[in-house]
Amino acid sequence: MEMSRILTGASILITLTLLVSSVSAHNITKILAEHPDFSTFNHYLTETHLAQEINSRQTITVCAVDNAGMSELLSKHLSLFALKNVLSFHILLDYFGAKKLHQITDGTALAATMFQATGSATGSSGFVNITDYKGGKVRLGAEDNDGTLSSEYVKSVKEIPYNISVIQISKILSSPEAEAPTPGPAQVNLTELMSKQGCKVFADLLVSSGAYATFQENADGGLTVFCPLDDPMKAFQPKYDNLTDDGKVALLSYHALPTYNSMQMLKQNNGIVNTLATDGGKTYQFTVQNDGESVTLKTKTVTAKITGKLIDEMPLAIYTISKVLLPKELFKKALAPTPAPAPAPGKAADSPKKAKGDKDEDLAPEPMSPDGEPADLEADDNGSIRSSGGRWVSVVLGVWLAAYLLV
């Protein structure tokens, strides 16, 4: 009986460990930062915004090259967009740890890459051939490269089964199609694009407030804009007019992130995000959440839904949203619920009644931590968001397990 209890407890502990590990996200920038030999590779993953895409995926292998290998690639003087294609060819959409590389079925495997997933690759040009040779050597090369496998597996850098594997390969994988000249996106007139697609009021306010300059400055390095449609923007206009000049700029800047985020990245990177209005002690943050294919932006006073896409081409993404985002820094009064009258002696207070059209979230404000952020989210040193739900699962199940074993 006692042995059965111990075995059952051990089973629960294993389940708990797996559950906790499943909520921990990887961070490719942090992983490579521990290895100075990959500093150039790491730098260009950030410059091309591939680091964000890597972090947003659950099962992936990064084939890293050292600084010498990157120097050879940089000597070709490719554009940043062509460089992104080449590096995305080094990101395999499957998990290949050291053990799996040496146990490939029939000795050869074809792995799809992030370059293939972009749709820019034709035929099989976005696939990498991985072949396990006798003697323990594993070689890699582009599938469309006449069978030439020019690079060799060197070592495993980091493995988090079966989430991410970072391996070192001897040299850059040669891919003529990935290295082909790739033009950058044409210079986009943000306000013109918004005006033509249902966001004219927001676009006009960007210009009249002076906030447009900040948007334009960030467009080349990475920018995501959430543009309220004209109807909700018109309804909000009276409140906007009552703001100070600085408040107007802050509110408009609150509708943009200083990084590029594809729709896929928004769906997979849920959590608190900084905005163009974020500055020092002024947080101006909101929470990105998704429910299946639907993505919402949640402040302390309103929840807006992404309703459409105007453009999504690295480094710029512009989406339409259903409501104006209201930062708590400008609309604190809206956060304070009206005090209910004290109940008569001996009589319990009635629960607030929901009026027709009211939502549950309007009656029950979201619990907040002392710093005003949702209590179940926290940021790591790199600004990545992780859920602390796994920690609470550990505490609760750990206590239960201890009680179980002591009975």
Q: What tens-digit pLDDT sequence spans the chain (407 residues)?
A: 454 444 444 444 444 444 444 444 789 999 999 999 999 999 999 888 899 889 988 899 999 999 999 999 999 888 888 898 999 999 999 999 999 999 887 889 999 999 988 777 777 788 999 999 877 899 999 887 676 898 999 999 999 998 999 999 999 998 888 888 766 665 788 999 999 999 999 999 999 999 999 998 888 778 999 999 999 999 999 999 999 999 999 999 999 999 888 888 888 778 999 999 998 666 899 999 988 889 999 999 899 999 999 998 878 899 999 999 999 999 875 444 444 545 544 444 444 444 444 444 333 333 333 233 332 333 333 333 343 344 444 444 454 555 555 55
Nearest to 188 by CA among 84, 89, 314: 314
According to the model, what pLDDT value does residue 385 have? Answer: 37
Helix, strand, or coil (residue 214): helix
Query: Which ranges of 23-130 would DSSP assign to H, the alpha helix?
Result: 28-33, 39-47, 50-55, 67-74, 80-88, 98-101, 114-117
Helix, strand, or coil (residue 182): coil
According to the model, what pLDDT value does residue 267 have? Answer: 85
Q: Is the pTM of this model over 0.75?
A: no
Q: Is 257 left (phi over 0), alpha (psi -120 to 50) or beta?
A: beta
- The pLDDT tens digits of the residues spanning 353-397 come to 444 444 443 333 333 332 333 323 333 333 333 433 444 444 444
Chain center to CA of 151: 31
Q: Is the dihedral of CA 241, 242, 244, 249 positive or negative?
A: negative
According to the model, what pLDDT value does residue 186 have? Answer: 59
* Cβ atoms of 143 and 110 closer than 8 Å: yes
According to the model, what pLDDT value does residue 221 have? Answer: 75
35, burial (CB in 10 Å: exposed 0-12, middle 13-18, buried 19+): middle
**Residues facing residue 63 across a β-bridge:** 167
- The pLDDT tens digits of the residues spanning 6-17 come to 444 444 444 444
According to the model, what pLDDT value does residue 150 have? Answer: 86
